[in-house]
Structure 1
Amino acid sequence: MVREKSKALILDFDGVVVDSEVIALAELQACLAEFGIELQLGEMIARFLGASFESIEAFVHDTTGRMPDASFREGWYARLFARYSRELRIMPGVLSVLDRLDDREYPYCIASGSSCRRLDFALKTVDLSERFAGRAYSADSVEHGKPAPDLFLFAARKMNVRPEDCLVVEDAGAGVSAAIGAGMRVVGFVGGRHLTNHREEHAARLRTAGAADVVTRFDDLLQIADASA
């Protein structure tokens, strides 16, 4: 676990606060299959975890010569939101960490590579909208999403904290790179169900990107609150 004291916590959302990536990747896999693109889950994780939607569209175009129209995103969102409503859950241990941080008046926020639309829907689905009111930031808030550092720098400004005093929790290499680019420390998280059979290889990927440490259980992050008291 990271030992240095920090003054604020920035959380990625998908695959960190909520166990959503197992849904998102499966439904993206199905949408890509409609373009004749067949990818195994391991390749989906390596290629698309934390990726912007624009980069997914570019991949489809480069692979097939066809640029997806608006129906591609709408079809994926329709699949996502239907399953979110039935299946989306908060990651085990998240609420305990947030309660501890609230008790200590330790600032935290979400910095998600998702669109506002997707982020807002997911927050409402798991009853976290009120808890993160005014502190849930989307890639829509900045010109360049992850792996650019813009979103993390934006989040730090909103919390009135220096970037070097922030600790980021990320499950994607693009997010780790973005946080490192912003001058922040990063803990990688590999506790999502989408990584059940890929944890070791993905943990290595996060460390290579710059994560100072990698944890499997969100409860391990309680040490952040203890170290920062």
Structure 2
Amino acid sequence: MAEMARPLVIFDCDGVLVDSEPLSVSVLVEALNRKGVDISEDEAYARFLGRSLSTVSQILHDDFDHSIDDAFLDDLRHHLFARFRLELKPVPGVAQALDALEWPRCVASSSQPERIRLSLSLTGLLDRFEPHIFSASMVSHGKPAPDLFLHAAKAMGAEPSACIVVEDSPAGIEAAQRAGMTVFAFVGGSHAGAPGYRERVDSLAPDVVFDAMPDLIHLVRKHIEGSEGRLPQRAV
């Protein structure tokens, strides 16, 4: 009898582990507005949520005729990290869920490694993942391309079909699906009320949709044990 593939739980960071999206979007919109780019927070959520910096840069170039330079990035990083140090919080219940998780886990985020580690350090989560932290800067194409998730699975010695990805963004959900992985969409972040957000998530038909991080353990266990097979399920 063939041995069952070893499960791996892959976590996005922003909006899944740390409740950072409102801070990130606010700082980005303010920085763009200062540069004369007319964009609202609602539009920023729709266009940029879950995407890598290189993808955001390309969108700004193509659709807004604005190029990001090093000075802009330094200014953005300075203001964002200052807000993080003052305001960043973990997603409620995530530390307890991680402590109860029986299976290997890692982080695969569109953010830069410095930002990922700062976010996890400020919220007391870093030791629960280090050194298994993967960034879009490590692959050629960011989300919604599957590259980052496939890279993380390979580095962790896991088959894509055995991976469960916990994601909050449409771009991340699409990336996990394209990687052939099971997708648990977390919609409990404080950005979940952004206009059109739930509609974009639901349109992608993730395997599980849930809004309370303490539910993760029994949802993962249920999936691994195969009690519901591969059928989509909802906790909300």
With the length of structure 2 as denominator, give the TM-score of the two structures.
0.86
Q: Which amino acid aligns with 1:36?
A: G
Aligned to 1:29: 29
Task: Say whether residues 1:186 and 2:186 are aligned partners.
Answer: no
SS at 1:151's partner residue?
A: helix
SS at 2:128's partner residue?
A: coil
Task: Say whether residues 1:207 and 2:197 are aligned partners.
Answer: no
Once the two structures are superposed, what CA deviation does each residue of 1:129-165 show, in whole Å capped at 9, x if it has no partner?
2221121111122222211111111111122111011
Task: Say whether residues 1:85 and 2:53 are aligned partners.
Answer: no
The sequence identity of aligned pairs, in percent, is 38
Structure 2 runs not aligned, ≥5 long: 226-236
Task: Say whether residues 1:108 and 2:105 are aligned partners.
Answer: yes
Aligned with 1:150 (options 147, 150, 163): 147
Deviates more, 1:217-226 or 1:82-91: 217-226
Alignment check: 8 A CA contact 1:186 1:210 kept:
no
Once the two structures are superposed, what CA deviation does each residue of 1:81-111 show, in whole Å capped at 9, x if it has no partner?
001111111101111211111xx3x111111
> 1:58/1:145 Cα in 2 relative to 1: closer, same or farther (>3 Å)?
closer
Name the count of aligned residue pairs. 220
SS at 1:144's partner residue?
A: coil
Task: Say whether residues 1:50 and 2:47 are aligned partners.
Answer: no
Structure 1 runs not aligned, ≥5 long: none
Aligned to 1:20: 20
Q: Which has the higher contact order (CA 8 A, sep 6+)?
A: 1
Aligned to 2:232: none
Superposition deviation, residue 174 in structure 1: 1.0
Alignment check: 8 A CA contact 2:161 2:181 kept:
yes
Alignment check: 8 A CA contact 2:143 2:175 kept:
yes
Alignment check: 8 A CA contact 2:192 2:198 kept:
no
> 1:62/1:38 Cα in 2 relative to 1: closer, same or farther (>3 Å)?
same
Deviates more, 1:161-170 or 1:219-228: 219-228
Q: Which amino acid aligns with 2:98?
A: L
With the length of structure 1 as denominator, give the TM-score of the two structures.
0.89
Question: CA–CA distance in 2 between the matches of 1:133 and 1:34?
Answer: 36
What stretches of structure 1 move > 4 A for 4+ residues in a row? none
Aligned to 1:140: 137
Question: CA–CA distance in 2 between the matches of 1:167 and 1:129?
Answer: 20
Question: CA–CA distance in 2 between the matches of 1:87 and 1:163?
Answer: 35
Q: Which amino acid aligns with 2:177?
A: I
Aligned to 1:124: 121
Aligned to 2:233: none
Q: Which amino acid aligns with 1:191?
A: G
Alignment check: 8 A CA contact 2:37 2:66 kept:
no
Superposition deviation, residue 197 in structure 1: 4.6
